[in-house]
Structure 1
Amino acid sequence: MAQKKKIGSYPNTMIVISLTAALFLIGFCGILVVQSKKLVSIIRQNIEVRVFIDKGTTSAGQDSLLVKLQQKPYVQTAGDSLSILYVSKEQAAEEFMEGTKEDFTAFLGENPLRNSYRVKVQEDYFEEAKLKAIKSDLEQLPGVYEVVYQENLADAINKNITKLYIVLASFALIMLVIIVLLINNTIKLAIYSQRFLIRSMQLVGATNGFIQRPFLMRGITQGLISALIAGFFLVILQQVAIRNVEGLSQLQEPQKLVFLLALLLILGILIGIVSTTQSLSRYLKMSLDDLY
């Protein structure tokens, strides 16, 4: 005995697999964006401007310069003990020799380096134009010999991160369009096989909302299941990466990850609802002759 076809029923395994894959890739792009923003934030927080002091400056003059540096609005807050770090010329020489493995003082007979302050700048000033303005401003202070920072670093990082965001957003959008089209076609084929059942229900007085309900419930269920599976695999992938990639744990932001997973859940449900509604509306408005 043939099983009676139930309205709203159609194979959903392929839809769930396809939607899961798309949501996983979209979520993966989201994680890359979150972690890249965190990386840029860490770089911004650690960017330093080196303020070299005139050799003839006294200890009192250096202290006075420190006070003036602390008053600058672009210097990181005074609560951060490392926002301004004093480096003597002896310390600078040790760092240089440690990096080059050469004792230049023995060759020159003296230490030509200068005492300096390493000043950390606030994130809002992580732009080449602003850093140049900071350099110009600091070089006007009494006792300052020269101000040095890594030129063009800020613009290079900002440009590259913008390109990365554009590429990831474009990829996620393409995946979203492809999966919506795929699901639409799958649902259309499923609804096509039930077009006469839909018309029969209309003839006996069933409203469009009543007919749509089982299809929408299935679409919502598919989106929910797909989002949960995609989120599960994203979390597993992230944990595996943290254990195998050194330093990756510093880029993690649990709150944003939870927010991203919630967005995937909402996106999955919305895709299920929109795709089902679009596919079903055609048959609800179709004349009897067009059904054949």
Structure 2
Amino acid sequence: MRKSRNLEKRRHGLQMVTLCISTTMVLTLLGLVMLSVLTAHNLQKNLRENVEISVILGDTIAKEDGVALGKIIQKKPYAHQVTFISSEEALKMAKEEMGIDPTEFTGSNPFSPELTVTMEAEYANTDSLSVIVKRLLKDRRVVDVAYTKDEIDGMNRILEPVSIALLGLSVLLIFICYTLISNSIQLSIYSRRFLIHTMKLVGASWGFIRRPFLKQAVVVGVISALLTCSLLGGIIYMLMPFMPHVEEIMTWRELAITAAAVFVFGFVITVFCTLLSVNKFLRMTAGELYKI
């Protein structure tokens, strides 16, 4: 009798370990995809915030007026950063880039003072920029506004389908993860279906029968989530040397959101699937249990 109980405990412990491992593997896959989606969103934001427009000012505009206009633009919702570049600074930059002095050919400084405006991510599209340009040109101090329309259109044509594809992949993987965890839990409870039926026959309430299974589900969910977070942390740590500047797109915020999602998903899905599986066997008769 004692040997039978020890064997049952050992089998139950092995099932729990197997369930933890399978759940951890599924949660790790989900965590990697979620982290990829969050970092991809940040990468897209960074790329869009690198979009710049050059607000060309009149040659007679004093530096004070140019700086004042820059402060006005900086307060606009579309402006991420505004930098004033005087004609002298523009000439110096041209000398450094080209290695020659343009004044040797023109006889005078060919550059006008300008404001370089780095856009906020949500305004980095040609529709928004066309409206912004029209408003800027109404200012008497502004002569012209220049930006690379084709490059911006090309960037958005690439980024938008990528965002949709990543979102679709995330939804698909959540469904796959749910299915895999649900099947693992059902197999674990299937081996104890007659124990459930026996408890029901001796008059135990459904709530009493469910309780140990739900406690196990909570333990499995928490342990699997902890193991998953440890695995993800190890993977990120090993990849850090091969991904320079990764901290710009993978911040503590993304890591915290991913960890929280792993814990919530691990807890909710294990408890929910356990509840469904136990209820399924509770509704079955002895004859039905033998047939499955």
Q: TM-score range by the shorter chain?
A: 0.7 to 0.9
C-alpha distance in 2, partners of 1:182/1:124? 38
For 2:4, give the aligned amino acid. Answer: Q
Partner of 2:26: 22
Given that 2:136 and 2:142 are in contact with CA atoms closer than 8 Å, whether structure 1 keeps it comes out as yes
Partner of 1:3: 4
Shift of 1:284: 0.6
Given that 1:69 and 1:75 are in contact with CA atoms closer than 8 Å, whether structure 2 keeps it comes out as no
For 1:259, give the aligned amino acid. Answer: I
CA RMSD, 1 decimal: 3.0
Q: Does 1:276 align with 2:274?
A: yes
Instruction: Map 1:1-292; keep pairs closer than 5 Å.
Output: 2-4=3-5, 5=8, 9=12, 11-55=15-59, 57-59=60-62, 63-72=64-73, 73-74=75-76, 83-101=81-99, 104-107=102-105, 110-154=108-152, 156-158=154-156, 160-292=158-290
For 1:271, give the aligned amino acid. Answer: I
Where structure 2 has 5 or more consecutive residues not aligned to the other structure, the ranges are: none
Q: Secondary structure at the match of 1:145?
A: strand
Shift of 1:107: 4.8
Shift of 1:97: 4.3
Given that 1:74 and 1:122 are in contact with CA atoms closer than 8 Å, whether structure 2 keeps it comes out as no
Q: Secondary structure at the match of 2:149?
A: coil
Q: Secondary structure at the match of 2:15?
A: coil
Query: Structure 1 residues 259, 35: CA separation in 2 closer, same or farther (over 3 Å shift)?
Result: same
Given that 2:20 and 2:224 are in contact with CA atoms closer than 8 Å, whether structure 1 keeps it comes out as yes
C-alpha distance in 2, partners of 1:33/1:179? 16
Query: Structure 1 residues 167, 226: CA separation in 2 closer, same or farther (over 3 Å shift)?
Result: farther
Given that 1:18 and 1:179 are in contact with CA atoms closer than 8 Å, whether structure 2 keeps it comes out as no
The structure with more helix, counted as a fraction of residues = 2
TM-score by length of 1: 0.82
Given that 1:241 and 1:248 are in contact with CA atoms closer than 8 Å, whether structure 2 keeps it comes out as no
C-alpha distance in 2, partners of 1:121/1:181? 43
Which is worse superposed, 64-73 or 269-278? 64-73
C-alpha distance in 2, partners of 1:240/1:192? 39
C-alpha distance in 2, partners of 1:235/1:134? 43
Shift of 1:69: 4.4
Query: Structure 1 residues 20, 160: CA separation in 2 closer, same or farther (over 3 Å shift)?
Result: farther
C-alpha distance in 1, partners of 2:267/2:166? 22
Q: Secondary structure at the match of 2:268?
A: helix
Which is worse superposed, 267-276 or 125-134? 125-134
C-alpha distance in 1, partners of 2:154/2:227? 38
For 1:139, give the aligned amino acid. Answer: L
For 2:17, give the aligned amino acid. Answer: T
C-alpha distance in 2, partners of 1:249/1:183? 32
Query: Structure 1 residues 233, 120: CA separation in 2 closer, same or farther (over 3 Å shift)?
Result: same
Shift of 1:155: 5.1
Where structure 1 has 5 or more consecutive residues not aligned to the other structure, the ranges are: none
Query: Structure 1 residues 281, 238: CA separation in 2 closer, same or farther (over 3 Å shift)?
Result: same
Which is worse superposed, 211-220 or 240-249? 240-249
Shift of 1:211: 1.3
C-alpha distance in 2, partners of 1:194/1:58? 84
Shift of 1:240: 3.0
For 2:91, give the aligned amino acid. Answer: A
Given that 2:66 and 2:84 are in contact with CA atoms closer than 8 Å, whether structure 1 keeps it comes out as no
C-alpha distance in 1, partners of 2:189/2:39? 42
For 1:70, give the aligned amino acid. Answer: K
Indicate the percent of aligned positions where both proteins have the same amino acid. 27
Which is worse superposed, 173-182 or 156-165? 156-165
C-alpha distance in 2, partners of 1:91/1:226? 58
Given that 1:36 and 1:161 are in contact with CA atoms closer than 8 Å, whether structure 2 keeps it comes out as no
